[in-house]
Amino acid sequence: MDFIREMARNTNIPVLAAFFLGIMTAVSPCPLATNIAALAYVSKRVAHRKDTIYASLLYLAGRVAAYTIVGALLIYSGLGSSAVSRFLQKYSEWFLGPLLIIFGLIMLDVIKISIFKGRVTAKLQEKIGDRGLIGSLLMGFLFALAFCPYSAVLFFGILMPMAIETTAGVGLPPIYGIGTGLPVVIFAVALTLGVSEMGKHIERLQKVERYLRKVIGVVFIGVGIYYVVLLVKSFF
Amino acid sequence: MSMSKRIMVVAVSLLLLAVLVAGCRAKQKSDSSNGNISKSEVEKVELLYFHPRIRCLSCNNIEKYAQEVAVKDFSSKMKDGKLKFESLRIEDPANKALVDEFDVGGSSLYIVASGNGKKVHHPIKDVWLYWDKEGKCKEIVRNELSEYL
């Protein structure tokens, strides 16, 4: 961890600083909670290695896209970094907790929604909806924009000033995004590798997968409650 | 590997390389302070901690460590009134002028040194990388304050 801190703080190679700032963001309290929820989600078909790897890479891509867009907006549009930071923290404050709880209730089938109903064939629903690929991409995008005060300091307070001062610094936010999502990819891949060793017990794994959706729902609700409690506590 | 997959791999690799090269120029040092003031000119130092309403462990730690350094390591300066520590909530309308003056975007720690007609804002950024290391965090704050006191 000290190595990560020193790399994030003390380098004349902005790309490395950006990457390690991303890693620091990923393991700090609030982003860690959302990354745990994301890991649970991308691993829901853990016995299907390709699906888990694609889902985790799409989650990473969603995060990279979000930070790239925000970074480019700040660099090219002249929008005030502090105003954008305060706006996004407000979004996180009010929406993230309830959103996670609702998503958890959907996973538990307490709330039933089918966005593909009557619009695409059942085959497409199975390929995309059930495999969670689009969900992973959207989740990465939304979670990246859910800045907490600490991740806002790292992105808006440390990374963006560095990006603005660096030639072609618009390349730094995507690198930062890779750092924030990489732990999820690594853990998801590790999970699938561990699971593949149990290939003989594939029937048992498939039974576990059915219950995994419920576990994921509970994880999402738990993380959502954490954010809601933080919000409620702030008023007292 | 099919041709389309090869093209995709090459394209992604080139993109990554472009990003790597793009971000590789050494950053230009810029003065993060607003002007310069020497130690002998300093008459008053404020250690300001801005925070939003919602905070978690990392932000609470930074406030606690910064305040402890001011109160314990610079107690004589605090008694003289030469050093002041303030914790300011960003959403509080009473702090709006300061929030606008510092263009605060979220949790932040600033040293404001004034004297001889000058006023300097100096953000302390490195503390945020050590929110969970009390000793290192306090060392950073102490060293930064020592530049002015």
Q: Are B119 and B35 in contact (CB under 8 A)?
A: yes
Q: Strand, coil or helix: what is A176?
A: helix
Neighbours of A124 (CB within 10 A): 11
Neighbours of B53 (CB within 10 A): 17
Please state, in angstroms and rounded to a whole number, the distance separating the CA atoms of residues B139 and B142.
5
Cross-chain residue pair B108–A153, CB shorter than 8 Å: yes
- When divided into structural domains, chain B yields a total of 1
Please state, in angstroms and rounded to a whole number, the distance separating the CA atoms of residues A93 and A130.
29
Q: Strand, coil or helix: what is A64?
A: helix
What is the span of the domain harbouring residue B133? 3-146
Bridge partners (DSSP) of residue B87 are B49
pLDDT digits (tens, 9 = 90+) for A190-205: 877 776 655 555 556 5
One-character DSSP codes across B81-106: TSEEEEEEETT-GGGHHHHHHHT--S
Cross-chain residue pair A14–B106, CB shorter than 8 Å: no
Instruction: Compare all CA atoms of chain B with the CA of A154 and give the residue at the minimum distance.
Output: B128
CA angle, corner B135, sides to A146 and B145, nearest 5? Answer: 85
Q: Maximum Cα–Cα distance for chain A, whole Å?
A: 58
pTM: 0.78
pLDDT digits (tens, 9 = 90+) for B61-80: 999 999 999 999 999 999 99
Amino acid (1-letter code) at residue B62? I
A152 touches chain B (CB under 8 A): yes
Least confident of A75-84, A166-175, A199-208, B83-92: A199-208
Is the reported ipTM for this assembly greater than 0.90? no
* Chain B contacts in chain A segment 216-235 (CB below 8 A): 230-231, 234-235
pLDDT digits (tens, 9 = 90+) for A17-54: 899 999 989 888 778 878 878 887 777 666 667 778 88
User: For the domain that residue B39 is a member of, what is the CATH number?
Assistant: 3.40.30.10
